Amino acid sequence: MLSAQGVTKRYGNTTVLDGATFDLQGGQVLAVVGANGAGKSTLIKSIVGLMRFQGRILVDGVDVARDGKRARGRIGYLAQNPAFHVDLSVRETAMFYARLRGASEERAREAVEAVGLGGHAEKMVGALSGGMRQRLGLAVAQMGDPALFILDEPATGLDVAARLELRDFIRAQRARGKSVVLSTHWLEDVPATADHVLVLDQGRTTFLGPSSEFVRANAARSRLFFRLNGHTAQAIPLIAAAAGEEVARNGDWLAVTCPTGEKVKVFEALVEGGITILDFRVEEATTADPQAVGGP
């Protein structure tokens, strides 16, 4: 579905992307991981034909550099900060992009409903929160039923519940045989969503392989602190089961240590259990006793 061979981008003597090479099959998810400036956005923009590059990129067999319009017709793209006309409503925005992609009005309505914006269809885009704009961006990305989704930092501005919904969206697309390229700096999203991982560092590929190998190689541990809304007793077994560790308590706060790549499972367990999180904190575990609680 997606093939990148030797993709390179230079600005003068500066190389921002150096020979990125990978293949992605239908029904697979590739996570592109790296710090700011690693080359993630450059790779994403090259795939969708927003910048010139050296090398070759094929989308479903179509060369992006030679036939960008036809290649983009196979892609559903969500930019990191999607730009919409602020004086249009959610419904009008969806209809506008549906017409651009040759999709029906019914498809536009379905896409808006699917991302949880059905009750905000007449709200102006300028009045939407950052997270709601991201949801609208996901709705637009689905127009035309693309075979490949390119999601550039889609979790930006989303709360915990919305991030879990984003995971569900990615899993649903994979189950439908769609391919997904997910650019992210949230390492905990990797084992939950991705089949393969591409790690970039200053434009160079430092890791390319199965997500299971990536998780084992990056098995850092995080310390999670939660202050809940009167459901501490109910929450403790949920947290313990999700983290695989005992939960410590200090006053109103609960604390647990778990692998960094697994920490969102704890949030997911609380959300699914109907537990309201009043406050939380995440930090690297540095104490000799992983169950010691010094208070956040």
pLDDT tens, position by position, 110-120: 999 988 899 99
Half-sphere exposure of 99 (CA within 13 A, CB side): 5
One domain for residues 225 and 213? no
Whole-number average pLDDT of the chain:
88
Confidence of residue 218 (pLDDT cuts 50, 70, 90): low
Last residue of a domain, one of 176, 200, 217: 217
Same domain, 64 and 179: yes
What are the pLDDT digits (tens) for 237-258?
Answer: 999 999 888 899 887 899 998 8
CATH number at residue 130: 3.40.50.300
**Does residue 290 belong to any structural domain of this protein?**
no
Domain boundary among 162, 186, 217: 217
Task: Give residue-wise pLDDT tens across range 158-196.
Answer: 777 777 888 888 999 999 999 999 998 777 778 889 999
The pLDDT, as a whole number, for residue 157 is 67
pLDDT at 34: 86
Query: Domain span at residue 253?
Result: 221-284
Query: Quick check: 209 pLDDT over 50?
Result: yes
Q: How many CA atoms lie within 13 A of 88 on its CB side?
A: 13
Counting residues of the chain whose pLDDT is more than 90, the rounded percentage is 61
pLDDT of the residue at 263: 83
| Co-location of 279 and 225 in the same domain | yes
Count of domains in the chain? 2
Contacts 24+ apart (CB under 8 A), 203-210: 203/9, 203/15, 203/16, 203/17, 203/18, 203/38, 203/39, 203/42, 204/18, 204/19, 204/39, 205/18, 205/19, 205/20, 205/21, 208/22
Q: Among 65-74, 89-98, 122-131, 212-221, name the one with the lowest average pLDDT.
A: 212-221
The C-alpha angle 46, 51, 57, rounded to 5 degrees, equals 35
